[in-house]
Amino acid sequence: MNTNPLNHYITTDGITRDWLERLFKRARSFVDKGFVHTLPEKIIATCFFEPSTRTRLSFTAAAHRLGANVIGFDTTSSTSTSKGETLEDTIRMVSSYCDAIVMRHPETGSAAQAAAVATVPVINAGDGNNAHPSQTALDLFTIQQGIGRLDDFTIVMVGDMLNSRVAHSLATTLGLFRNVTQVWVSPQALAMPRTIQQQVAGSVDTTYQPYLATADIVMMTRVQQERFANKYDYEKLKNSYCLSLEDVGQMKPEAKIISPLPRTSELPTTIDHQAQAYYFQQAGFGVPVRAALLEWVLGVWQ
Ligand code: NCD
């Protein structure tokens, strides 16, 4: 895959199955044989205009594992953004300090905006409720590790389908695989956006229980408090789902529960030790998958 000369990774649009398979092979080799210093002397900038734990730290760990150095910020209050500097100015300047930029921002379209002015590759680590393409790579790798295949399976996504950039990027990318049945479960007010429903086949529902016995993957997402205009609407919907021990008991023993995390009430700690609970392993896969991605944007493999 080389749709842009700088190897930006802004959305999953345009990626191919073949490219994903090569990415996963690379990630798998890091898991099996350990990391190699393929990016010595490189500088990765992590520019996080919105909170993050896993994404920022797994990119940072991945860069260190490959021998690169990391600069960056994790809050805008300590940067010139708080003085009114534009995103474009920040990115133009950061471009001259580093070899690649990993950026998260609360606004939809901000990653594309950054890529338009950057002189180094930009990886979108989440732009508003739009896309989260590195999470998709990680989610697909997790599914492959968890159930052993990326074709012929049923995935039930549960939670805030309207605002989950994780669900949006994953749902559209699953179209690359054969015979994947998708079910998007949410309260009616938080249904999967029409644009995605038109782009990829899937069914919509408000309850997940009917699908538990046949699901291979159940992906739980939290209701995204920060995307709500008013607190009252959030309070009304925040506890819409809670995957109980009884629910897990209905799942196939080899099925997997995944989540981008962080969790709120939808994933109680009581299920953490069930065989199907796979979300902490998933978070761990963030390092090898993002390492492979950093290598790709910097031209180590094509
Ligand atoms: C997700 C995100 O930021 O979109 N988290 C993550 O990257 N692991 C999901 C979320 O915040 O709910």
Q: Which residues, in sequence order, are CB contacts of 137 under 8 Å at separation 6+?
A: 20, 23, 289, 293
Regarding the beta carbon of 105 and ligand 1, being less than 6 Å apart is answered: no
The confidence score (pLDDT) of residue 2 equals: 52
Q: In ligand 1, which atom is closest to the CA atom of 132?
A: 4
31-41 confidence digits (pLDDT tens): 999 999 999 99
pLDDT for residue 136 is more than 80: yes
Mean pLDDT to the nearest integer, 211-240: 96
Q: In ligand 1, which atom is closest to the CA atom of 260?
A: 8
Regarding the beta carbon of 104 and ligand 1, being less than 6 Å apart is answered: no
Ligand 1 mean position to 261 CA, how many Å? 6
Mapped onto helix, strand or coil, the DSSP state of residue 36 is: coil
Regarding the beta carbon of 166 and ligand 1, being less than 6 Å apart is answered: yes
Residue-averaged pLDDT of the chain: 96
Q: For atom 11 of ligand 1, which residue has the closest CA?
A: 262
60-103 confidence digits (pLDDT tens): 999 999 999 999 999 988 888 888 999 999 999 999 999 999 99
The pTM of this model reads 0.97
The confidence score (pLDDT) of residue 1 equals: 55
Decide which of 3 and 211 is more confident.
211
Mean pLDDT to the nearest integer, 168-177: 98
Q: What six digits make up the tokens of 206? A: 């408000």
Regarding the beta carbon of 261 and ligand 1, being less than 6 Å apart is answered: yes
Q: Is residue 207 within 8 Å of 228, Cβ to Cβ?
A: no
Q: Using a pLDDT cut of 90, give the percent of the chain over it.
A: 95
The confidence score (pLDDT) of residue 258 equals: 98
Regarding the beta carbon of 54 and ligand 1, being less than 6 Å apart is answered: yes
Ligand 1 mean position to 124 CA, how many Å? 13
Q: What six digits make up the tokens of 70? A: 């990391």
Regarding the beta carbon of 223 and ligand 1, being less than 6 Å apart is answered: no
Mapped onto helix, strand or coil, the DSSP state of residue 264 is: coil
Q: Is residue 124 within 8 Å of 132, Cβ to Cβ?
A: yes
Q: For atom 1 of ligand 1, which residue has the closest CA?
A: 260
Spell 193-205 as b/e; 16+ CB within 10 A means b: beebbeeeebeee
Taking Cα atoms as reference points, which of 118, 111, 50, 67 lies closest to residue 89?
118
Regarding the beta carbon of 56 and ligand 1, being less than 6 Å apart is answered: no
pLDDT for residue 180 is more than 70: yes
The confidence score (pLDDT) of residue 5 equals: 80
Regarding the beta carbon of 132 and ligand 1, being less than 6 Å apart is answered: yes
